[in-house]
Structure 1
Amino acid sequence: MSDTYTGRVVPGGPVDVRELPHLTIRKLAVSQMSNNVYLLTCRTSRRQLLIDAADEAPRILELVRDGGDGLDAVLTTHRHWDHVRALEEVVAATGARTLAGAQDADGLTVPVDEPLGQGDQVRFGEITLDVIHLRGHTAGSVALAYRNPEGATHLFTGDSLFPGGVGNTKNPGQSFDSLIDDVTARIFDVYDDDTWFYPGHGDDSTLGAERPHLQEWRARGW
């Protein structure tokens, strides 16, 4: 991994880049909501996958052009408006296929080519990502796991897991109990403490840094 990567990005600021042996991760912050956009590039084939075309399509398209050879797919972690504002424009410009959790697919601004569920896999180039369905922030929220064959696992958690807690569940149709149960059983019970995770807003963290607080999160109810 690159020694300079911090995961701290701000809207209008530079991209932060992490180089793994087989995968390059680029993190960009966009919009007044400070949404994180992630571009994953297979280092062998230079094929790419974008996670959350949140806003500022011209910046995202520039990122894609600079990153590799085309865009295979755009994966949307969940249906909320702030994560999809550039989705239609990016898909139209690149011809990329679209992926999202099956229960959120009808709420997106473009048709979903590949509805996803727990245990599915997403492939581009020589990279394989495992799909984790995390119910509660939205019905179809998904996270992605990249099991680095030469190091720690890397998770892309959308708005389901952040440093300091799970995602918002205070609106109608959301469920804290469902989300904390899924995050516990499908993330913390599966992956090691050195697993690095990348959320939909803000800084990254590791499961080891957050694990001691799981019972605290459950007790406070958010």
Structure 2
Amino acid sequence: MDVRMFTVGPVQENSFLVRRDGSDRAVLVDPGEEAPRLLEAIDALGVTLDAILLTHCHFDHVGAVAPVAKATGAPVYCPQLEVPVLQDIMAYVPWAGFGPFESWDPEQTVAGGERLALAGFDVDVLFTPGHSPGHVTYALSAEGEAPALFSGDVLFQSSIGRTDLPGGDHPTLLASIATLLDRFDDATVVHPGHMGLTTLGAERATNPFLAELSAQQ
């Protein structure tokens, strides 16, 4: 798996361009901002986008969706519960000074439980609410390879997603993290929406916010 991470915008959000090694097909996860930079990377790699995958629709994760989708023709996969946000992004920006962002009508919706075949990957869509109501995590795997998680704002290095925005809920977020810890092994790499890469094992062992989960086991 060839993963290129681009940290974009004033909120320092991570967008990921993912392909199988040497493939000319790829997916883009959470194009938050800086569409020209993302498009330049797509062109430089010589890949065709099979899909734009959205973990959730907070503005810092979807600000570049419209220009990238227009330029590439790639279908946008959006969490079903958050389609209205993508269709009217600026109405959901909670602070002044961000944007303007162009809204988009997604070509596909996901709710969790789907298995997609995109760019040579099996993509399992996992419902992981708590940071936002419709949040999903994408588990990408290819034959003979361990899956990699693209988890948006669920789990970070030594932290977890905030739950003080509309639709956030702390117990729900912890329950979502628990489903990931139960399903995947400790070596599973987590590609989060902010900060650096981590593994489930590292977070299980050291993340102070997961102490509640340990206490429940």
TM bin, normalised by shorter chain, reads 0.7 to 0.9
TM-score (norm 1): 0.82
The reply on whether 1:71 has 2:71 as its aligned counterpart is no
- Looking at structure 1, the residues matched to 212 and 67 of structure 2 have their Cα atoms a distance apart, in angstroms, of 38
Asked if 1:121 corresponds to 2:99, the answer is: no
Inter-CA distance 65–208: structure 2 relative to 1 (3 Å threshold): same
Find the aligned partners of 2:194 and 2:2 in 1 and give their Cα distance: 20
Q: Does 1:196 align with 2:196?
A: no
Shift in Å at residue 201 of structure 1? 0.8
Alignment RMSD (CA, Å): 1.9
Deviation at 1:171, TM superposition (A): 2.5
How far apart are 1:69 and its partner, in Å? 2.8
Alignment pair present for 1:157 and 2:151: yes
The TM-score, its normalising length taken from structure 2, stands at 0.84
Query: How far, CA to CA, are the matches of 1:178 and 1:139 in structure 2?
Result: 9
Give 1:150 shift: 3.6
Question: Counting helix residues as a fraction of each chain, which structure ranks higher?
Answer: 2
Identity of paired residues, percent?
33
Unaligned runs of 5+ in 1: 1-22
Selected match of 1:216 from 206, 211, 217: 211
Q: Does 1:207 align with 2:200?
A: yes
Which residue in 2 is equivalent to 1:170?
164
Aligned equivalents of 1:57, 1:107: Cα separation in 2: 19
**Using a 3 Å threshold, how does the CA distance of structure 1 residues 215 and 50 change in structure 2: closer, same or farther?**
closer
Count of residues in correspondence between the two structures: 197
Q: Deviations over 1:50-107 (max 9, x none)?
A: 0011111100001111223321211111110111111111111111101011111221
1:89 to 67, 81, 94: 67
* 1:93–1:165 CA distance, 2 compared to 1 (3 A): same
| Structure 2 stretches lacking a partner, 5+ long | 87-102
Q: 1:115 to 1:209 in 2, by over 3 A?
A: same
